[in-house]
Structure formats: structure tokens, C-alpha cells
Structure 1
Amino acid sequence: MENSIYIERDFGWFLGCFENNRQHRHYAIQLSIPINSFVDVELTEKNISTESPVLIKPNISHRITSNEEQFLLLINPASTIGHFWNKTAANTVSEINHPVIAALLAVIKDGALDTGERRSKINSLIKSYDCFCDSFIHQGDDRINKALGYLASQTNRVVPLDEIAGVCALSPDRFLHLFKKETGMTYRRAQLWAKLVDAIPLMRNYSVTETAHEAGFADSAHFSRTFRENFGFNPREVLKFSWFIQV
């Protein structure tokens, strides 16, 4: 199966043999699903070797290696989909067993599907697990739940701090505190996530340096560093693969 990357506003995924096995951390929630083998997860305090999917919460240093293909899902913590996965596991790193895993593996291994059909089915499954769906809503601070719902309705722009705090009837300082507590990332980092996703389509027609300037970053180093901090990938690594984006 050809290595491929798909990127959407609130999640992205990689399917194939993953070679970026440096120790690193990023702000995305990460779900690693081994397809036909084990994955080895190297953490600061321990190592895990498992055939089970592993969920890693934001900003946890890790290194993942596998001799076979794996499915790697990266999710925006400041989204309703991210809220679902954040609440699915209590620990910062967890082996998980959830019905969506079996469904994803069935789609990935279905040899009758072409690339477009497989991509569509994977995306539909990911989107169906959302804390604002009636079946899946989790407990959390209602004010931040309201903020996540508002952000989901404003994907065409970066929402200023004063505006989102007002939506929640909170002071900006109180909002910032609760937002980080509930999502695992700062609101500034959430704003950067949206800014980066808007920048990614530009890489089809511009160099990384040109993309950085078009997207409002100081230079390519700032853009690349922020990209890696959010997603765990360097933007030039994304360009090596067959990739698709929908924003």
C-alpha cells in the first residue's frame, strides 16, 4: 500500500510505513494503530510493545517504531472530535480498545476499495465519533464545550480571544485557564493550528519559504517549527508523500 497523508481542519492521518521515528512531542492527540504487527512506543518513563492501538495525549514525548504498516491519526485537541478522544482515555498514554478501531482496520484492509473510497470511508468513521453527537457526549466544562461548538462554526477565520471568552461568559484569563485544562493546549496554540491548516494547501504551489510568508509567519524556520510542534511532521516530510487536503 502506498504511503499517503490526508489532512483536514480538525484531523489528519498517515497510512503506510512510518520512518519519522525520532523522539518528539506535538500538540495533536495521536492514535497509532498497528495493522499487521507490533508497534514499539518509547516514552520518557517506560517502553510499550503492543499489537493494540495506542492513544497519546498532547505534548507527551514519544518515539514510535514499527516494521510494518500502521495507521497514524492526529487530532486537533481543540475540536469536538478531539474532545471525544481526550475523554476516551484517562491516562496520557493508553492502549485502547474501541469499536471504531475494528471498523477502521476493516476499511484499511479491504482490498476491494480504491484509494478514494478508502479515504472517504476512513474520514466518515473519524467524523462519526464526535462529542457533540447524541450518542457520544462526554462530561466536561459546559463553557468550554460551548467554545468548541462555536469554533466548529467559525472555521473560516481565527476567532479572537475576547470574542470566544465572551461567547462563554468568561473573562479572557479564566477562559484561557479552562481551555487549556479541558483540551491540553493553549488557545494561542489552537489559533496556530487553524492558521497552519489554512497554510497547507499553499504548499502545492509555493515553496515552504513562500508558504510561510503567504500565511503570515515570520520566516520558513518559524513556520516549520510551529508545524512540527503541532503535528510532529516537518512540512518538507509531508511533501514526500501522496497527500490530500480538504479545509
Structure 2
Amino acid sequence: MTNTVHIDRDFGWFVGSFENNQQHKHYAVQLSIPINGKVILKTKDGTFESEQPILIKSNVAHQIISNTRQFLLLINPASTIGHFWNHLSDKEIQEINLTPALELRRALIDTNPQQVLAKELNSIIEKHDCFCSSAIHKGDERINNALVYLSNHFDRVVSLDEIADHFNVSSSRFLHLFKEETGITYRRAQLWNKLIKGITQFGKKSFTEIALGVGFSDNAHFSRVFKENFGFSPRDFLKISQFVQV
């Protein structure tokens, strides 16, 4: 079976197998689910392997060294969906046997064909956010609302002054609350948006055109940030991916 990638505004996922993933730490919350075999991760503390879904928090350096088929979900923590997943664990790396992860695993095992699977996966991911009936936490209401504001203005860069003024807090206070609630800086949240916008244009434009179009200074800067976040260069990522739009 071919590898499949879906990129959405607040999350992206990959189904398949790959090699040559380098150590990296990204600013997304990651869920890895083995479809067959085990997920094997190399971290600063040693090698971690499991047959169960594994949640990896933001900024945790790791390398995927297993090449069996797996599901890899990356969620922007500066989104309402990311807010939900980020609060499922207080550990950097942890096996997750809660309903959202188990629903995804069941769909991966039981659902065919490919397009049906893609729709089922997206449906499960989208229904679990911090405003759903199964929410398990309460965060700062200003940041909850700020995440919605950012989602509604995804097509542009929202300045720090704009969003802080909108919620009647100082810029310094907003930055503190945002980092406390999401686990990433506001600058990194905006950088993540640029990467996601760039990925959706892979195969349609040159990497230089993409880099300049989403706000990077040049292709080298875009490639460096991309590799830091995903463990692959943009060119290598495109080689292993088959994009599915649903």
C-alpha cells in the first residue's frame, strides 16, 4: 500500500512506513499508533517501544526508528483540537489508552478503502477538541477564545498587539498565558501555520516559490525549519507522501 498524508488547518496525519527519519523536536503534539508491529522511538533517555498509541508532547526530541506501517498524527497545540490532546497527559511521552486514541486505532484496523478511512480519521480527530462534551479540562478562557480567533484568521499573520488588545491583556501577559496553556510560544504558533500552508502547496510550486509565498526569507530557511519540525527535508517528505484531500 502507498503512504498517505492528509494536511488540515489544525492537524496533519500520515499512514504508511518510512526510513531515514532524523532526530527532531517539533512544536506539534504527536500521536503515534502502530498498525502492525511496534512504534519504536529513540529519545535522549533511551529507546522507547510500544504496541499501543503513544502521545508525545511539544518540544520533545525524538527519532522514529521503526519502519513498519504506522499512523502518525501531528496536532497544532495552538488550536482547540490541540488544546484537548495536550491535556490528555502531563508526561513528555506516554502510552494513551483513552477513547480518542482507541477510536483512531480501531478505524485504522477495521476501515477500508483509503478514502473512507481518511474521512473516518478526520471525523474522529475533529470531534475531540476542548469544547466538546467529553472535554476533560478547563483552561484560561481568554486563551480558549484566542485559539478560536486564530483559527478564524488562519489566512493571515495575527500580530501580538492585535490579539492582546482584542482580549484586553498586555502583550507580556498574553505571551505568558499562551505559553502556559499551549506549551509553545506565540511566535512558534505562527511559524507552524506557515509550515502547514507550505505543505499544502508541495508538488504544485517550487520550494523556493513556496518558501517566499508563506513568509520565509528563502528556501534554505524554510527547509531548515521544516527539517527541525518533521525530521525530513521538504524534498524527502514529498517523496514518501501521497496527499489525500477529503
TM-score tier after normalising by the smaller chain length: over 0.9
Following TM superposition, by how much is the alpha carbon of 1:109 offset from its aligned partner in structure 2, in angstroms? 2.2
Following TM superposition, by how much is the alpha carbon of 1:80 offset from its aligned partner in structure 2, in angstroms? 0.5
Following TM superposition, by how much is the alpha carbon of 1:226 offset from its aligned partner in structure 2, in angstroms? 2.0
Identity across the alignment (%): 53
Aligned position for 1:238: 237
Helix, strand or coil: the match of 2:73?
strand
- Residue 108 (1) aligns with residue 102 (2): no
Aligned partners of 1:27 and 1:231 also within 8 Å:
no
Helix, strand or coil: the match of 2:175?
helix
Amino acid of the structure 2 residue aligned with 1:155: F
Aligned position for 1:143: 142
TM-score normalised per structure 1: 0.92
Task: Map 1:208-227 onto structure 2 (within 5 A).
Answer: 208-227=207-226
Aligned position for 1:155: 154
Following TM superposition, by how much is the alpha carbon of 1:187 offset from its aligned partner in structure 2, in angstroms? 0.7
Aligned position for 1:89: 89
Matched residues in 1 for 2:213 and 2:71: separation?
31
Task: Map 1:108-127 onto structure 2 (within 5 A).
Answer: 108-110=108-110, 113-127=112-126
Task: Map 1:1-247 onto structure 2 (within 5 A).
Answer: 1-110=1-110, 113-136=112-135, 138-240=137-239, 241-244=241-244
Matched residues in 2 for 1:195 and 1:53: separation?
28
Helix, strand or coil: the match of 2:163?
helix
Mean CA deviation greater in 132-141 or 26-35: 132-141
Where does structure 2 lack aligned partners over 5 or more consecutive residues? Answer: none
Structure 1, residues 201-229: CA drift from partner, whole Å, max 9, x if none? 33332111221122231111111122233
TM-score normalised per structure 2: 0.92
Helix, strand or coil: the match of 1:203?
coil
Aligned partners of 1:27 and 1:229 also within 8 Å:
no
Following TM superposition, by how much is the alpha carbon of 1:198 offset from its aligned partner in structure 2, in angstroms? 2.2
Q: How many residues are paired up?
A: 245
Where does structure 1 lack aligned partners over 5 or more consecutive residues? Answer: none
Q: What RMSD, in angstroms, separates the aligned Cα atoms of the two structures?
A: 1.8
Matched residues in 2 for 1:16 and 1:93: separation?
22
The verdict on how the C-alpha distance between 1:196 and 1:63 changes in structure 2, with shifts beyond 3 A counting, is closer
